[in-house]
Chain A
């Protein structure tokens, strides 16, 4: 009787350990999906045409980088992944979708100068030096300051 009791206890211990490991794996799997789910919800705030591209090409890969990075322990992974996804879900608006195709912009220096010409002058050589070789020897730069309706409120 006593021997049988010990065997049953041993079997029960193994069974519970196995169930515990399976439950842990299951929970870990679901927790990994949670940030992705929230990120999917965040894309619902974008225009329907931008959702899939933004998720697949911009936000999703960066979230994956977080979730599969070197520092990715389960709790850290969950916290960072959720912070990433929730912040986007909270803040993003339909106008915030990135351009769908990675764009190569080629701007000639002359075009850049033309874009910068307009009203308003800037002095303050010491301030300019703080940001590198701005102006390349000239203390005054002309810039255009067109009103921008998209300037965010943050």
Chain B
């Protein structure tokens, strides 16, 4: 079942979660691996990943391992979609603009001697 692409506005946590996918679009990430990379808790990360999936930014698949040999079940991996990548780059740029420091010239300056008692 393919997910329909929808736009999203990023929050700081969402930006943190999508950043690794934008840095290396070909890489497949696992949830636990992303948790370690982004230092986000599972309670934030998994709902965010689910939301990205539902909006068509990420796609997922199952790890290709033999569960008996590995001694654990296959994990779910996530990969960014083409549309998700374009939208993530745009939204990260917007996000960066939104939280950018003001230019030095725009900062108020004290008049000479204004600080003297």
Contact = CB atoms under 8 A, between A and B. Distances in A.
A61 interface: yes
B67 to A, nearest CB: 9
B7 A62 contact: no
Contacts of B3: 99, 103, 105
Contacts, number: 172
Nearest to A57: B76
Given A96-B46, A102-B62, A103-B60, A152 B75 contact: no
A103 B73 contact: no
Contact of A143 (B6, B7, B22): B7
A contact residues, range: 35 or more
Given A58-B76, A127-B93, A105 B56 contact: yes
A106 B42 contact: no
A143 B59 CA distance: 21
B5 A99 contact: no
A116 B74 contact: no
B50 A60 contact: no
Interface of A: 56-62, 64-66, 68, 83-85, 87-93, 95-99, 101-109, 111-113, 115-116, 122, 124, 127-128, 130-132, 134, 141, 143-146, 148, 150-152, 154
